[in-house]
């Protein structure tokens, strides 16, 4: 909205500057009977200062128009989205149990779901409905508030700014506290990896301060991928959370590349960064599958456990989803999953939980 205001202001200034600079017949202007381009050339030659002012104001107007187009339309001064068709708006359906237990469902480097690339068939009446959900009662977590910091704007591939995200979180949490709602857990997750946001550190720091003010006993949980862990500010932000759950599912670079469509050396860099951080609040989560991609073989599991020995997680969560996110793969047997669990407990000496996903 600020960009739109600026665009209007600069547009007016550009128009006034052009009118004043063009002038009219007389000692300070160019003859009006000449072609427009010729009048400008005469003006530039005769009055370089005035013509420079006109060009600057015109450039400013174009720049603000470009910023307004990049920001997209629809946000009001209070950060609320404008309802397009109120009668046609459908409530957003959220599987809170799955969101609480699962990290982002798409592997990094692979195409995102269609909803992240194209406009949805409906529009939420409020920005907070897509950024903040709950509180909802979740087993072992209590009343849980779900925060999704990575939200695409109306332009595909462009995430909402941290200012919009933080403002929405703050206003929602403040209202929940004043209404007497109970919140024991604040879960940061989403279809798009939260750590992918370039301002993830600022968002996390503000969330910590907001939660401390309105729900001082609430625990902050992060669920995501380690892909962006070595990007500026990400590692520092992990200390703001009571528990950090990251997916690490490959034991070799070849399998990592097959699962994520990224270069295998990314896995080496991620493992090195996590080992160096030595996080005491880290939970590693992994899905095991077999087929065209198989991360459950003895060699894969040995490589995976070797990485975990250096990373030193506080807990490990494993699963074998019935509906695999990778093509031509399927769940491993329950017996093999138990074998992996026992091997992790023996090698790492940390709790291992088999979860449903």
pLDDT tens digit string along 151-160?
A: 777 777 778 7
Q: How many Å apart are CA 257 and CA 250, to the nearest integer? A: 9
Q: How many Å apart are CA 16 and CA 41, to the nearest integer? A: 19
Phi-psi region of 71 (alpha: psi -120 to 50; beta: other; left: phi over 0): alpha
Is it the case that residue 290 has pLDDT exceeding 80? yes
Residue 63: strand, helix, or coil = helix
Q: What is the pLDDT of residues 117-148, one digit of tens each?
A: 333 333 344 667 788 888 888 888 889 989 88
Residue 138: strand, helix, or coil = strand
Fold held by 86-354? TIM Barrel (3.20.20)
Is it the case that residue 43 has pLDDT exceeding 80? no
- The more confident residue out of 344 and 68 is 344
- The more confident residue out of 173 and 82 is 173
Contact 224, 189 (CB under 8 A): yes
Q: What is the pLDDT of residues 176-202, one digit of tens each?
A: 999 888 999 999 988 888 888 888 888
Residue 152: strand, helix, or coil = strand
Is it the case that residue 105 has pLDDT exceeding 90? no
Is it the case that residue 204 has pLDDT exceeding 70? yes
Domain boundaries of the chain, sorted by first residue: 2-71, 86-354
Q: What is the phi/psi pair of residue 81, to 5°?
A: -80, 145
């Amino acid at each position: 909205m600020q960009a739109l205001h600026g665009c209007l202001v600069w547009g007016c200034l550009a128009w006034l500057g052009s009118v004043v600079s063009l002038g009219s017949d007389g000692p300070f202007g160019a003859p009006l009977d000449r072609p427009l381009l010729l009048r400008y050339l005469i003006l530039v030659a005769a009055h370089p200062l005035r013509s420079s002012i006109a060009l600057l104001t015109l450039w400013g107007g174009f720049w603000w128009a470009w910023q307004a187009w990049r920001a997209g339309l629809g946000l009001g001064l209070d950060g609320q989205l404008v309802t397009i068709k109120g009668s046609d708006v459908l409530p957003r359906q959220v599987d809170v149990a799955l969101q609480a237990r699962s990290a982002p469902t798409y592997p990094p480097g692979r195409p995102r779901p269609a909803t992240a690339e194209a406009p949805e068939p409906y529009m939420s009446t409020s920005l907070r409905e897509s950024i903040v959900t709950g509180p909802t009662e979740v087993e072992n977590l209590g009343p849980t508030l779900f925060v999704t910091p990575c939200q695409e704007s109306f332009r595909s591939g462009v995430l909402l700014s941290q200012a919009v995200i933080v403002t929405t979180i703050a206003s929602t949490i403040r209202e929940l506290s004043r209404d007497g709602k109970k919140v024991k857990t604040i879960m940061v997750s989403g279809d798009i990896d939260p750590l992918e946001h370039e301002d993830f550190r600022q968002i996390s720091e503000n969330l910590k301060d907001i939660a401390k003010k309105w729900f001082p006993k609430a625990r902050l949980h992060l669920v995501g991928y380690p892909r962006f862990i070595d990007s500026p500010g990400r590692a520092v932000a992990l200390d703001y959370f009571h528990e950090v759950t990251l997916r690490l599912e490959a034991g070799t670079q070849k399998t990592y590349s097959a699962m994520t469509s990224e270069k295998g050396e990314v896995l080496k860099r991620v493992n090195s960064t996590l080992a160096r951080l030595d996080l005491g609040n880290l939970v590693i989560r992994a899905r095991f599958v077999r087929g065209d991609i198989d991360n459950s073989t003895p060699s894969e599991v040995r490589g995976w456990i070797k990485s975990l020995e250096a990373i030193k997680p506080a807990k490990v969560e494993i699963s074998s989803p019935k509906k695999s996110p990778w093509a031509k793969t399927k769940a491993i047997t329950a017996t093999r999953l138990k074998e992996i669990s026992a091997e992790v407990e023996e090698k790492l000496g940390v709790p291992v939980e088999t979860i449903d996903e």
